[in-house]
Each structure stands twice: as C-alpha cells, then as structure tokens.
Amino acid sequence: MEMRSHLDVNYKTALLLCRKCRILMSQSTADKVLDAMFYESDVTYIGGPSKEPGHRGMATEKQPYLIVLSTGQDNRYPEYVKAKPVTVDNSANVNEMFESCVKMSPDRVLNTDGKTTYNILKDRMTVVNQKVDYTDKNHRLKWLNTIIGNIQTQIIGIYHGVSKRDLPLFVNEQVYRYNHRNTGRNMLNKINKYLRLSSPMPRKAIIQFLDQAMASFTA
C-alpha cells in the first residue's frame, strides 16, 4: 500500500515492483559465505498460528527456518546472518546449509541450544551444544534471538499477513536489511552494482523463483 501511494500506481503494479525488489535482495545475498571465528545457530518458526480446530500447537502453521549468525567475538559483535527455509529440523539440513554458506574449521566455535542435529558438525567445528538459560540477559544466543525476534516482529507487526508463497521474499528482505545496516552512504553504490548484475524479471521468472523456494517448505 505504501509503494502504491508513493508511486501513484495500482495495487497489482505496486505488488509486482515489491516482489522484484525483494527478489533482487534475495539474489544479492544468496552467495554470501559467513566467515568468522564464532557462530550462533538455531531453528525458528516464522508465520502465523493455525486457525484449524485441533491445531493450536507451536509451529503448526509456521515455516521452519535455519538461522546462522556470525559474530566478531563469542556472544559479542554480531556481523552477518543467513536464513534458509527447511522442510524439517534435522541433521541433513544443518549439514547442507553449513557446507554451502559457512566457513568451518576446528578452531571456530558454534553456539547452539542443545539440539542434537548440530552434532553432525563436531568433526569440523567446536560445537558448544548445551541448553541455554534464556533468563540470563547475556545468554549464549543473545544476538541470534534478538535478530530472530526482530525479523518476526517486522513481518507480523508491519505486514500483518504474508502468504506462505511470499514468505521467503519477506524473510530475505529482513536479512538483507540487517546485513546492510551499516552500509550508510554506500547503499546507492551497492544498489547500482546489483542492478547492473541483475537480469530482467518478467512474471514467469518471478513464478519460477517462488516455486524454487516452495520446494524447501513444509507441506
């Protein structure tokens, strides 16, 4: 609605432009590899609660996302974040994401919340896999949980309702905004770079992009 008002176009045109912008944001950070000595990771569930009778449990209508954050020091100085939708919270998906977008070595530390799914990485990283005391304001996953909370608040609080098909674009937008929070005056230079490297995005290409993301979603 805000885009429609600013550009004085109809709703469908504004929606199309927003989708193109979010796809560009998704593509700009898709190849980002996290490279730090400390990481935090967890699986969160993004979306709304189920409205179906008998399905009021946690995450019944929500999509699981595997989130990884790199930090400059242990539990300090958050740097970059990656988020990926997964069909299920298991070791195979953890292993796939870390192999594709996280630099690993035995001297690098990964903080988690006692999930056994991360044990698959123990031969390649130092995995601190213990339950977190969330009553401690400086708990080990402090920054990761802050970022996750902000992403959920932005999506639910600002946009109110997001279809499951569009959810990856909205999550990627929040990830992009966070990773570029310190860009400042260089933002226009980055946008110029992304536009020069981008390709035309007709409706067919948008549908293909959304279909690829849905393949990683739960049924």
Instruction: Say what the pLDDT of residue 185 is.
Output: 76
Reduced to 3 states (helix: H, G, I; strand: E, B; else coil), residue 159 is helix
Does 158 score more than 70 pLDDT? Answer: no
Q: What is the pTM of this model?
A: 0.79
Q: How many residues does the chain have?
A: 219
Please give the span between the terminal C-alpha atoms of the chain, in angstroms, as a whole number. Answer: 30
Does 3 score more than 80 pLDDT? Answer: no
Whose structure tokens read 């390649």? 124
Q: Is the distance from CB of 36 to CB of 53 less than 8 angstroms?
A: no
**Phi, psi (degrees; rounded to nearest 5) at 126:** -90, 105
- Average model confidence (pLDDT) across the chain: 82
Q: Is the distance from CB of 41 to CB of 66 less than 8 angstroms?
A: yes
Q: Is the distance from CB of 47 to CB of 40 less than 8 angstroms?
A: no
What gap in Å lies between CA 27 and CA 194, rounded to an integer?
9
pLDDT (tens digit, 9 = 90+) per residue, 86-107?
888 899 999 999 999 999 999 9
